[in-house]
């Protein structure tokens, strides 16, 4: 029997048969989580382990989502993410596992963290979903990894940055990933805060055409205030099950943009020392969405990031692509993503202002591009060039470059 949510990579970008999407109610209880994955499993977006016997083999060769998205057909057509660079913010990735043999994975972490097994489990799983040679969504993409940490991971102090932002803060990592050439940033981060430094890092990403993808969370409730996806431009990803229904654990809110597979996945559990079956959660959904976007980026290299996001919102699988806080515009449609020419859409970010308002605003992003945001070493990266008229900035020695009076705003008619 063909899954009703499967999409045809050969169709011309129209809407295939739509899945039944259950949006539920705000008060629906979250799916019960096991405690085996410790604190990370309880974090929004984390994989949630379910009891399962260890597999006899020592190599993971397949995943349910592979057939769900017809990735064999995608690979046959050459859609492998080749030429696309993805940044993954997560726990450490064990590149010695056979699933990642031959994958192009580089650790770009700037500080040392001693992770608990659950963090290694999560990071290795996310990387594998992206670039594993047997079942990665984008196996030929370049993957840059940046280690984040939970409250239970131990840092040797190298992540601290006296007088500046932590070396592994989300804002610092966004700026670093942009500098390293990432085109897509994938993370399952909860409670990232609401700092000016984060706002301007996201503004920089939006202005540079770098797409940030974040999981919606696994609380089964409105979790918008705790997720990075509350910010403008960030692709918030909810989870749907194999039958197309919204997963009852999937969080919701104004930041949700789309949804992706969050059903069962196979992964290495570094606490148990075995391969287990897990509920993918919105973490897996976010990683898979990042990989699907990489395929779209490969197919349409001349399209802007804004136009690619326009395709996502205009072709997602909700009836008439109408937005709701549970699945956004609907589950992402891989067939449409690679078959719909983005150049027909305006070069405007459809997530620039989310439902209920979000930051950075369109004007704030333009202020950043024009170089008129007041320079502040606590909130702006060294890559920022101040081009305004404040002569005091010229005497500051702890900010980036200063080119007084050169903002294009002053010459724009």
Same domain, 280 and 155: yes
- Dmax (CA) for the chain in angstroms is 70
Q: Which whole number is the average pLDDT over 81-88?
A: 98
Q: In 3-state terms, what secondary structure has residue 199?
A: helix
Buried b / exposed e along 272-310 (16+ C-beta atoms within 10 A): eeebbbbbbbbbbbbbbbbbbbbbbbbbbeebbbbbbbb
Look at residue 231 in the predicted model and tell me its pLDDT.
Answer: 96
Same domain, 391 and 329: no
Look at residue 23 in the predicted model and tell me its pLDDT.
Answer: 37
- Range scoring the smallest mean pLDDT among 11-15, 193-197, 321-325: 11-15
| Higher local confidence (pLDDT), 282 or 33 | 282
Same domain, 301 and 162: yes
Asked whether 201 and 175 are in contact (CB, 8 A), the reply is yes
Same domain, 267 and 321: yes
Q: In 3-state terms, what secondary structure has residue 367?
A: helix
Q: Which whole number is the average pLDDT over 332-359?
A: 95
Domain assignment present for 18: no
Percent of the chain with pLDDT over 70: 81
Give 394-404 pLDDT, tens digit per residue. Answer: 788 778 889 99
Look at residue 378 in the predicted model and tell me its pLDDT.
Answer: 82
Same domain, 188 and 237: yes
Same domain, 290 and 405: no
Domain assignment present for 306: yes
Look at residue 3 in the predicted model and tell me its pLDDT.
Answer: 41
Instruction: Tell me the pLDDT of the chain averaged across its residues.
Output: 85
Q: How far is CA 104 from CA 133, 241, 261, 289, in A?
A: 10, 30, 24, 19
Same domain, 286 and 395: no
Domain assignment present for 16: no
Give 367-399 pLDDT, tens digit per residue. Answer: 999 999 988 888 888 889 999 999 888 788 778
pLDDT at 312 exceeding the cut of 80: yes
Sorting pLDDT into bands at 50, 70 and 90, what band is 156?
low
Look at residue 359 in the predicted model and tell me its pLDDT.
Answer: 94
Same domain, 253 and 384: no
Sorting pLDDT into bands at 50, 70 and 90, what band is 204?
very high
pLDDT at 10 exceeding the cut of 60: no
Tell me which residue range forms the domain holding 401: 375-411
Q: How many CA atoms lie within 13 A of 342 on its CB side?
A: 25
Same domain, 43 and 115: yes
The count of structural domains within the chain is 2
pLDDT at 15 exceeding the cut of 50: no
Domain assignment present for 119: yes
Buried b / exposed e along 36-49 (16+ C-beta atoms within 10 A): bbbebbebbbbbbb
């Amino acid at each position: 029997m063909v899954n009703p949510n499967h999409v045809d990579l050969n169709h011309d970008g129209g809407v295939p048969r739509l899945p039944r999407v259950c949006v539920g109610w705000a008060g629906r209880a979250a799916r019960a989580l096991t405690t085996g994955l410790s604190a990370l499993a309880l974090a929004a977006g984390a994989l949630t382990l379910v009891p399962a016997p260890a597999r006899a083999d020592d190599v993971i060769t397949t995943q349910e989502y592979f057939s769900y998205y017809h990735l064999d057909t995608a690979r046959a057509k050459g859609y492998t993410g080749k030429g696309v660079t993805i940044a993954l913010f997560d726990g450490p990735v064990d590149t010695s596992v056979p699933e990642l043999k031959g994958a192009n994975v580089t650790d770009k972490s700037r500080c040392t963290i001693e992770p608990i097994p659950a963090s290694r489990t999560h990071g290795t799983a996310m990387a594998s979903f992206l670039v594993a040679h047997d079942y990665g969504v984008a196996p030929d993409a370049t993957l840059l990894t940046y280690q984040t940490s939970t409250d239970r991971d131990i840092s040797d102090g190298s992540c601290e940055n006296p007088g500046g932002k932590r070396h592994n803060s989300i804002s610092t990592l966004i700026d670093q990933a942009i500098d390293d050439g990432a085109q897509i940033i994938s993370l399952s981060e909860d409670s990232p805060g609401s700092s000016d430094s984060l706002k301007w890092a996201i503004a920089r990403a939006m202005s540079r055409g770098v797409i940030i993808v974040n999981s919606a969370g696994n609380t089964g409730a409105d979790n918008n205030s705790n997720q990075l996806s509350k910010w403008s431009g960030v692709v918030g990803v909810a989870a749907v099950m194999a039958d197309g229904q919204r997963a009852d654990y999937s969080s919701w809110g104004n930041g949700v943009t789309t949804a992706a597979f969050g059903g069962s996945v196979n992964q290495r559990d570094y606490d148990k020392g075995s391969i287990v079956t897990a509920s993918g959660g919105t973490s897996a959904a976010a990683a898979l969405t990042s990989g699907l976007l990489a395929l779209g980026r490969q197919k349409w290299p001349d399209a802007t990031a804004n136009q690619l996001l326009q395709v996502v919102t205009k072709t997602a699988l909700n009836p008439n692509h109408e937005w709701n806080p549970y699945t956004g515009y609907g589950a992402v449609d891989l067939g449409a993503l690679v078959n719909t020419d983005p150049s027909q859409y305006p070069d405007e970010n459809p997530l620039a202002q989310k439902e209920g308002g979000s930051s950075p605003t369109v004007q704030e992003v333009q202020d950043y591009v024009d170089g008129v945001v007041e320079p502040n070493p606590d909130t702006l990266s060294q890559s920022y060039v101040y081009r305004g008229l404040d002569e005091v900035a010229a005497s500051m020695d702890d900010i980036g470059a200063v080119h007084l009076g050169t903002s294009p705003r002053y010459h724009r008619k």
